[in-house]
Structure 1
Amino acid sequence: MALRLDGTDVSGFKFLFSLAVMYGLMSILVHSVMYTKFITPLGIDAPLDRFSEARAIEHVRVLAHEIDGRQEGRQGLREAAEYIKAQLERLKERAGSNFRIEIEENVVSGSFNMMFLGHGISFGYRNHTNILVRISSIDSQETDPSVLMNAHFDGPLGSPGAGDCASCVASLLEIARLTIDSGWVPPRPIIFLFNGAEEVFLLGAHGFMRTHKWRDSIGAFINVEASGTGGLDLVCQSGPGSWPSSVYAQSAIYPMAHSAAQDVFPVIPGDTDYRMFSEDYGSIPGLDIIFLLGGYYYHTNYDTVDRLVPGSMQARGDNLYSAVKAFAESAKLRNARQRESLGVSNGSDDGQAVFFDYLAWFMIFYSRRIAMALHSIPVIIFLVMPFFSRFLYSGLWCCFATFYDFVKGMILHTTGIMLAIIFPVLFSILRLLVSSYGMNWFANPFLAFMMFIPISLVGLLIPRTVFHGFPLSQNVSVLKVPKEALSDEARFWGAFGFYASVTLAYLLAGLSGGFLTFFTSASMLLAWISFCLSIKFSGRQLARSSVFYVIPLIPCLTYSVYFGGFLVQFLIEKMGMMGSLPPPYGNYVPDIVVAAIVGVVTGWCMGPLMPICGKWLARSSILQFLLHLSVIALALSSQFFPYSRDAPKRVVFQHTFLTADANQIVDSSYDFSVVDSNSLLFLFKYAPELAKELNIGPEFSFETAKMSNQRTFLVCHL
């Protein structure tokens, strides 16, 4: 169906094209930040007083490729321990006389209970190896407060473990070298713990915390982890208290941290050694820093050194070295006895702080106490504004009418945001009804944006299209203000009230992610002031005033694209290991989740523009165009296979033994499963060689197949 355009429609399409160009440029910038393209890795011949990614990569190459397998029970794990120890001995030999270098090989045994995924699990273990080095000044004491840096050198089953976690070990080895070669003698001891048993439920860290003589001297720690092969090296957890994140904010060269991550991380089914140091067996202040992107290869045989994202280890190394220096030089660094005697955990009384980085350029940090005041301001402004703007001129009744219009504006904006989420979800369900498989976007994330952003925009614009003329309660003749001006005002303050309310809700819930909507609210105020000044000095020229509204929002919108793009990419990568849910409804879950998140991100990135710029876009011709784009993207997506060599499908194949005692085998079985929504039927259809190897014929069905007991699965892919 051909679109018939009048002059107003043409202007609307020009504005839509301008926004597309603006967001496209933002996306290019964000992509370069997410994948550290702005960081130049230093080569193997870099100055010795600088962290070198190339030197660290050489350690990764040895650990991940020259050593065959670093899993518990394999010879490779012993070889990795010997390699690390040999590197530390070489550093000790060339250290200056003002250093004291203590190297230990510590064999740990023990037992403990822990809660995991809502279940109590008991562990008993023995003879796991940790390698430690303590670097201090020659006059340091055994009880001096120290800084711990931790990384694990064991690897996941079936994986070279270049990212997880040879890259972590390599970073710490290079930092240990840098500490000695730079001439900086740490004023407090620095302990490097290379633990050999993290993949088997954090046993190495537990053994250190329960048995080692240095454990009570630790005043702060940094746990280095990886759930991917690079990108943003994000601070996912910090605490107790705000001191660790404050030190990071002041010291990081390329800060990568969001306090919102601490709201989400506890619900993710995965733990790191941070838990042992800061929660279960200690209350040591510290940071949990994790590579999050490149999750396609996490715990697979594709986790190789050539897949590490260039620049990621350079950024990590520069940040870690700067942070460990800041911790070692901090006056707040205290050992366990000092913390106990003072009755504090270095700032825990102040609660979790609010912090976020802006494109890894700089970091904004403020305390919980300041957040309580700061994040309440937008709601106060929203409630006061009707009375401030009307009372002196029109009386109390007009104030309430204005407030009522603001509430209606907030309801309309909320409806648009909700529809921006619902429409992509419905669209994803419709696509699966006509498609033979889901998750087409898994290997091609751009498909998720192509399919769901246009339809999400349709939902966002529906309220503005339906209520093209705002249902005002105010009397235009009494106020002697143009109806268009009152409508713009009501829509703006309604949208502002929505973001202010969400900010307050975050605050009251005790969460730390309220900075997202607070930043939006503050930016919208600046945009509104700019818009009003434009009208005052240039008249109500629609194009000019809209541009003046958009310009102050650009920093906020860029951050929204940054945070939202990272969130969608991370989520898409993790959908490949979320687990296989029962069909038929389980087949829909990943597509629905991704569609909903893209809808949230679209509403967040475009929502602040809608009060003023929505008038350009809320036209039937533009809605039709967006619908056509969505349908074309749907048709195009069917031509893409969900998986590729760079985004493989995960399967679990294990040999299970049921024993009555140490010597009697009661039963055994081979168990085979997938870990995403595309079932075994999909796998056997598109991998016929596998089906043939397993003697699976075309008559295979779940009704007749023998189902495995899911409780017996060793979930090594998580």
Structure 2
Amino acid sequence: MRNRSEQKHVTFEPLTMEFEERSNEEYKGNIPSSSIHSISPLFVVFFVILLLGLFGLSLLLDSILPVPLKSADKEKYSEKFIAEEARNYLKGLTDFGPRVVGSYENELLAVQYLKKQINDIVINAHSNKKIKVDLQTVSGSYYLDYAPYGIVNAYGNVQNLIVKLSSINNNKNKSILINAHFDSVPTSPGGSDDGINCATMLEVLRVLSRSADDFEHDIIFLFNGAEESFLQASHGFITQHNWAGNCKVVINLEAAGAGGKIILFQTGPGQPWLVHKFSKVPHPAGQVTGEEIFQNNLIPSDTDFRVFRDFGGVVGYDMAFVRSGYRYHTKYDGFDNIPLGSFQHVGDNVLSLIKNLVNTTEIDNLESQDQTKVVYYDFFGLFMIVYTINVATLLNYSTALLCLIVAFRCFFTLGLRLNKEDLLYILITKMGIIVGWLLAIGFTVILGILLDYLGYTMSWYRNPWIILGLYVVPIWGLCCGVIIIANKYSFKENNSIAAHTQVQLSCVRLIWCVPLVIGTFFNIRASHIIQIPLVFNSLVFAVIHFSKLQYSVRTWQFLHLISTLIPVCYLMYTSVILMTFVIPITGRFGSNKNPELFVGFATLILSVLISSLFVPLITLVRSPLKVFYGFLITFLAFFGLVFTPLGFPYSGDFSSPAPQRFWIQHTGRAFYNINGTVYKQDAGYFIVNLDRNSPRSVENFVEDVKKAQSVNTLSDSELFYGMPILHPRAIEK
């Protein structure tokens, strides 16, 4: 450093006092190795390894399941859920194979099997418990509003097997409803959808029926026999059964995958106390982000929870397994692929939740309870954080204010003032960051359209790790590249690289405050995903700038990195959950949508949020272009993989399937005129294209597919071209 007494007068006095003096001309090019604030490109390699380690930790935290209890533990843990007992129940149910509504397997074998297991439980119940069993056969009709068209559904003679568990001394007429369905789609044995949850209910019923504890509220177990036919049996129960009127809270158990953890993805409406009760279960897992995605119809699915809520006015919980969504509604959804820990996870949570609810006073006066929505998310599956949207509003606005205060403190201590030159410098710095994001958006669009045009879309479907090199790496590279270029023009005279980097980091936080404030204003509860990294980083930089640590050589860099570890790990954990759910859905959300854009933009948002507090550190790196070239080479390598067998989207491996789905109906059509006379008849195969590659992927292997006509070429004189549309969402596909 230059001796202070020898320094010439400059505008940015704090910088000249402590930071290495650098001129604008000196910066144009690579950072000299003599800079005490610079870091080696090898540090970037170490940092990438650190990020990969955090990503691996996120995968590990998401995959951890509780230690399952075995049947031999029943006597020792009489009040506990026994995973092996539940698995035995599931084995008996899945042995019947697919259980389609109306089939012999569903209407007779499955019902008889469940009745036998329930009767065995009744025989061994505690003397202070009374159990009633009812088999409901019900018919009805209803309307469900779907986009773009609703559906009128009429049903006849569907079955519900219902069990009511009560304490002898209970005189209240309030019930907790727990629901799962035992039917399945054609070809699928329904191991996870929804057999595991039926098995869980049987084991929970066994444990609670033997408990000596008194229950203030009844518990109704609804084994419904017609969910896959558009939620019919749940409608029959909630609108026509004698016990339905007493049901105040529902726990709906579903599956959109197989194995892993069961996740809370919908609750309410209102009633924040519900989430507080759930937060006390042993293995809480749930994200309000999933709730907002689901309730905004971004996911092509629905559950019985909607029927209970809309037709019965019931509040409660909607939970589902989402891991390995490739198995959902396929022959791969069997018994053997479900780990025993998954049984223990759902069983422990459901049993604990019922115990938390069964004596609660909130059920007695739901109308007077707070109706405020809540923000909730689990912290690595260890515990759940819950607060109302009013608290979220206060937190988010306070975080934005903190960012503003810390940024002004940063600018002031680094010598910036409210003059034209300094404001222009800050503006150019911000624009460099924003332009990087805009280029990343443009890249995502171009790549998505290009891969779709070339016929190589969904290369990541079977191997999601391809997304890292195909999207994440180039997005980070573009953001870094723009900053490298912008630094050549926005670097201020006498400004050190450390000071410039801190200004960039402050600008990043200020930019993120904009979507945080907008999201908060529109009550988007998922805004916490932005708030978490902002508050961590802002608090640390408040310490840095108010303690004058910004003048240190390495201390501020170390504190900055430490402040980002927990938020980044959490964002990666959330990303793993969301992408695990989202990627398999692209195999069934229709051929009229480009899945590259869907997954690309999801990756873009998460990647930019995770990396934005790291990317400005490229300013400190000697030879930053080497880092950019590393990103470029990595992307090109992964882009090449797309055109190899590794980029083939599908797999029929039973241990790790990723099948392509085809909805094929052998159809006979008869057209009647107004007099009831048939004026035309034909027959054929009606194929609904479920993903972007259908039917192109099989045209060279199935000759008849080449002869297929698009429905758009048929006469439009008939409703929906005279096609047998079973679900309004098929119209979009």
Return the letter of the residue paired with 2:195.
A
Corresponding position of 1:514:
527
* CA distance in structure 1 between the aligned counterparts of 2:501 and 2:256, rounded to whole angstroms: 46
Corresponding position of 2:418:
398
For residue 513 of structure 1, give the secondary structure of its aligned residue in structure 2.
helix
Does residue 175 of the first structure (1) align with residue 194 of the second (2)?
no
Q: 1:409: how far off?
A: 4.3
Tell me, yes or no, if the aligned pair for 1:674 and 1:680 is still in contact at 8 Å.
Answer: yes
* CA distance in structure 2 between the aligned counterparts of 1:254 and 1:448, rounded to whole angstroms: 30
Tell me, yes or no, if the aligned pair for 2:176 and 2:248 is still in contact at 8 Å.
Answer: yes
Corresponding position of 1:466:
485
Match runs of 1:25-104 below 5 Å: 25-35=53-63, 37-47=64-74, 48-64=78-94, 66-78=95-107, 79-104=109-134
Return the letter of the residue paired with 1:25.
G
Corresponding position of 2:23:
none
Bigger mean CA deviation after superposition, 482-491 or 634-643: 482-491
Q: 1:248: how far off?
A: 3.8
Corresponding position of 1:683:
698
Bigger mean CA deviation after superposition, 128-137 or 373-382: 373-382
Corresponding position of 2:552:
540
Corresponding position of 2:164:
134
Corresponding position of 2:14:
none
Tell me, yes or no, if the aligned pair for 1:391 and 1:399 is still in contact at 8 Å.
Answer: no
> Residues 643-665 of structure 1, C-alpha deviation per residue, up to 9 Å, x if partnerless?
11111111121122334689979
Corresponding position of 2:503:
490
Tell me, yes or no, if the aligned pair for 1:234 and 1:257 is still in contact at 8 Å.
Answer: yes
Match runs of 1:290-309 below 5 Å: 290-309=320-339
Corresponding position of 2:253:
224
Corresponding position of 1:258:
287
Tell me, yes or no, if the aligned pair for 2:81 and 2:347 is still in contact at 8 Å.
Answer: yes
For residue 175 of structure 1, give the secondary structure of its aligned residue in structure 2.
helix
Q: 1:704: how far off?
A: 12
Return the letter of the residue paired with 2:695.
L
List gaps (5 residues or longer) in structure 1: none
Which of 547, 551, 560 is the aligned partner of 1:549? Answer: 560
* CA distance in structure 2 between the aligned counterparts of 1:449 and 1:245, rounded to whole angstroms: 37
Bigger mean CA deviation after superposition, 246-255 or 4-13: 4-13
For residue 49 of structure 1, give the secondary structure of its aligned residue in structure 2.
coil
Tell me, yes or no, if the aligned pair for 1:103 and 1:131 is still in contact at 8 Å.
Answer: yes
Corresponding position of 2:244:
215
* CA distance in structure 1 between the aligned counterparts of 2:60 and 2:498, rounded to whole angstroms: 40
Return the letter of the residue paired with 1:46.
D
For residue 500 of structure 1, give the secondary structure of its aligned residue in structure 2.
helix
Q: 1:166: how far off?
A: 0.5
* CA distance in structure 1 between the aligned counterparts of 2:314 and 2:496, rounded to whole angstroms: 60
* CA distance in structure 1 between the aligned counterparts of 2:400 and 2:520, rounded to whole angstroms: 12
Equivalenced residue count is 679
- With a CA cutoff of 8 Å and minimum separation of 6, indicate the structure with the bigger relative contact order: 2
Which of 374, 378, 388 is the aligned partner of 1:357? Answer: 378
Return the letter of the residue paired with 1:712.
P
* CA distance in structure 2 between the aligned counterparts of 1:321 and 1:27, rounded to whole angstroms: 32
Corresponding position of 1:277:
308
* CA distance in structure 2 between the aligned counterparts of 1:284 and 1:260, rounded to whole angstroms: 22
* CA distance in structure 2 between the aligned counterparts of 1:418 and 1:254, rounded to whole angstroms: 40
For residue 41 of structure 2, give the secondary structure of its aligned residue in structure 1.
helix
Bigger mean CA deviation after superposition, 399-408 or 249-258: 399-408
> Residues 625-654 of structure 1, C-alpha deviation per residue, up to 9 Å, x if partnerless?
111111111112321221111111111211
Return the letter of the residue paired with 2:377.
F
Corresponding position of 2:48:
20
Corresponding position of 2:266:
237
Q: 1:717: how far off?
A: 11
For residue 261 of structure 2, give the secondary structure of its aligned residue in structure 1.
strand
Return the letter of the residue paired with 2:615.
M
Which of 440, 450, 453 is the aligned partner of 1:420? Answer: 440
Q: 1:579 to 1:557 in 2, by over 3 A?
A: same
List gaps (5 residues or longer) in structure 2: 1-29
Tell me, yes or no, if the aligned pair for 1:149 and 1:223 is still in contact at 8 Å.
Answer: yes
Tell me, yes or no, if the aligned pair for 1:527 and 1:553 is still in contact at 8 Å.
Answer: no
Corresponding position of 2:346:
316
Tell me, yes or no, if the aligned pair for 1:60 and 1:162 is still in contact at 8 Å.
Answer: yes
* CA distance in structure 1 between the aligned counterparts of 2:146 and 2:103, rounded to whole angstroms: 26
* CA distance in structure 2 between the aligned counterparts of 1:411 and 1:71, rounded to whole angstroms: 58
Does residue 635 of the first structure (1) align with residue 640 of the second (2)?
yes
Which of 584, 587, 594 is the aligned partner of 2:599? Answer: 594
* CA distance in structure 2 between the aligned counterparts of 1:412 and 1:118, rounded to whole angstroms: 41
Q: 1:28 to 1:385 in 2, by over 3 A?
A: closer
Bigger mean CA deviation after superposition, 560-569 or 461-470: 461-470
User: Percent identity at matched positions?
Assistant: 24
* CA distance in structure 2 between the aligned counterparts of 1:716 and 1:289, rounded to whole angstroms: 25
Tell me, yes or no, if the aligned pair for 1:229 and 1:309 is still in contact at 8 Å.
Answer: no
Return the letter of the residue paired with 1:57.
R
Which of 527, 538, 555 is the aligned partner of 1:525? Answer: 538
Corresponding position of 1:607:
612
Q: 1:390 to 1:684 in 2, by over 3 A?
A: closer
Which of 645, 648, 651 is the aligned partner of 1:644? Answer: 651
Match runs of 1:146-161 below 5 Å: 146-161=175-190
Q: 1:312: how far off?
A: 2.0
Bigger mean CA deviation after superposition, 401-410 or 115-124: 401-410
Q: 1:38: how far off?
A: 4.3
Bigger mean CA deviation after superposition, 398-407 or 209-218: 398-407
> Residues 292-341 of structure 1, C-alpha deviation per residue, up to 9 Å, x if partnerless?
1211011111111122245222111111111111111222012xxx54xx
Return the letter of the residue paired with 2:614.
L
For residue 251 of structure 1, give the secondary structure of its aligned residue in structure 2.
coil
Return the letter of the residue paired with 2:553.
Q
Tell me, yes or no, if the aligned pair for 2:591 and 2:690 is still in contact at 8 Å.
Answer: yes
* CA distance in structure 2 between the aligned counterparts of 1:89 and 1:565, rounded to whole angstroms: 42
Q: 1:389: how far off?
A: 6.7
Does residue 455 of the first structure (1) align with residue 474 of the second (2)?
yes
Q: 1:194: how far off?
A: 0.9
Q: 1:668: how far off?
A: 2.8
For residue 333 of structure 1, give the secondary structure of its aligned residue in structure 2.
helix
Tell me, yes or no, if the aligned pair for 2:136 and 2:159 is still in contact at 8 Å.
Answer: yes
Return the letter of the residue paired with 2:564.
L
Does residue 568 of the first structure (1) align with residue 579 of the second (2)?
yes
Return the letter of the residue paired with 2:66.
I
> Residues 92-143 of structure 1, C-alpha deviation per residue, up to 9 Å, x if partnerless?
11101100111111111212112122312212222111111111110123x5
Q: 1:73: how far off?
A: 1.3
* CA distance in structure 1 between the aligned counterparts of 2:542 and 2:428, rounded to whole angstroms: 22
Tell me, yes or no, if the aligned pair for 1:99 and 1:137 is still in contact at 8 Å.
Answer: yes
> Residues 59-102 of structure 1, C-alpha deviation per residue, up to 9 Å, x if partnerless?
222222x2133111101112112211221111111101100111
Return the letter of the residue paired with 1:53.
A
Tell me, yes or no, if the aligned pair for 2:263 and 2:319 is still in contact at 8 Å.
Answer: yes
Tell me, yes or no, if the aligned pair for 1:299 and 1:716 is still in contact at 8 Å.
Answer: no
Q: 1:269: how far off?
A: 2.4
Tell me, yes or no, if the aligned pair for 2:39 and 2:620 is still in contact at 8 Å.
Answer: no
* CA distance in structure 1 between the aligned counterparts of 2:105 and 2:130, rounded to whole angstroms: 30
Which of 220, 239, 242 is the aligned partner of 1:191? Answer: 220
> Residues 407-450 of structure 1, C-alpha deviation per residue, up to 9 Å, x if partnerless?
554443333333334324433444455x5532121111111222
Match runs of 1:616-635 below 5 Å: 616=621, 619-635=624-640
For residue 635 of structure 1, give the secondary structure of its aligned residue in structure 2.
helix
Return the letter of the residue paired with 2:396.
H
* CA distance in structure 2 between the aligned counterparts of 1:452 and 1:389, rounded to whole angstroms: 33
Q: 1:550: how far off?
A: 0.5
